[in-house]
Amino acid sequence: MRKLYGVMGDPIRHSMSPDIHNDAFRRMDINADYHLFHVLPDQLENAVKGVRALNISGFNVTVPHKTKIMPFLDEIDELAGAIGAVNTVVNREGRLVGYNTDGPGFVRGIKERLGTPLANKKTLIIGAGGAARGIYFSLVKEGITQIDICNRTLQNAKSLIEQCPYETASQAFGFEEAAEMISQYDLIVQTTSAGMSPNVSEVPFEISDRLQASALVSDIIYNPLETGFLRQAKEKGAMTHNGIDMFVYQAALAFEIWTGVTPDSTKMRQIVVNKLGG
């Protein structure tokens, strides 16, 4: 029997998830289809009931449902529970189990880009929103204990550190102070919306000449492929890393959770880049 997967969100038409998952199903000879499910906020509970009724095998969750869907699931993975958001759900014999693959997807992409262990990398996360939370908790769980967070609203950065369930030595800073301290960091992760299309020249703060040339500067935005922040980092001689890997690897991890099979992430990346015109 053909299995059904999909992604719930509002809006949802822009999603590239069907392109990458349906291609992976075909390549892996898996009898399944992946569709867009446009679910309005006031219909989320009914949509989950529909998943149960139709025995849908699994689905992704995107904005604005990642947190609100949690009470309607039967089980939440430890990391997803700590993050407070779910982006992947698998149907295990009628039990809906929620995971968060966003943070782990980011970690997998960074590890591949660096090719070296992460544990000794002093890290700065820019931003304190939902994306920062998933990445922060996932990096700490990976073994990085020296992770600082900077945010326009300092209290939000402090609150994120206080809420981390794993042991860490983190400090909170404002953007200006973090910009002054940028030479201290081996890995810098930009998680805010600054630089997202159409505001491609916007940056959270200006990168100074104090940035280490050996540092890796990552921006989770993938449209455009190179944000103003990454362009500044490249001009200072640092390595750069855009948000495509996070998108691709969170999808690959979801695929693994659903099927037990590892998809071709290189092909997934190629599809995304082609869709973006890169």
CA separation for the pair 95, 203 (Å, rounded): 43
3-state secondary structure of 260: coil
Angle between helices 102-114 and 130-142 (to 10 degrees): 60
66: annotated active-site residue: yes
Say if residue 129 carries a ligand binding annotation: yes
Question: Is 243 flagged in the annotation as binding?
Answer: yes
Task: Please state, in angstroms and rounded to a whole number, the distance separating the CA atoms of residues 267 and 274.
Answer: 11
State how far Cα 101 lies from the chain centre.
Answer: 7
220 among annotated binding-site residues: yes
138 belongs to an annotated ligand binding site = no
Strand partners for 32: 3
Q: Is 57 annotated as a binding residue?
A: no
Q: Is 250 one of the annotated binding-site residues?
A: yes
- CB-based contact 271:20 (threshold 8 Å): yes
Residue 102 known to bind ligand: yes
Annotated binding residue at 16?
yes
Q: 131 a known binding residue?
A: yes
Q: Virtual CA dihedral for 64, 71, 253, 215, nearest 10 degrees?
A: 60
> Which residues face 5 on adjacent strands?
34, 58
Q: What DSSP assignment string belongs to 77-139?
A: -HHHHHHT---EEEEETTEEEEE--HHHHHHHHHHHHH-S-STT--EEEE--SHHHHHHHHHH
Q: Which of 57, 198, 46, 181 is nearest to 126 (CA)?
A: 181
Phi, psi of 193 (to 5 degrees): -85, 0
Give the separation between CA 111 and CA 221, rounded to whole angstroms: 18
**87 assigned binding-site residue:** yes
Is 218 annotated in a binding site? The answer is no
Of 66, 68, 121, 141, which is the active-site residue?
66
Q: Is 15 annotated as a binding residue?
A: yes
- Residue numbers in the known binding site for shikimate are 15-17, 62, 87, 102, 222, 250
- Residue numbers in the known binding site for NADP(+) are 78, 127-131, 220, 243
Enumerate the active-site residues.
66
- Residue numbers in the known binding site are 15-17, 62, 78, 87, 102, 127-131, 220, 222, 243, 250
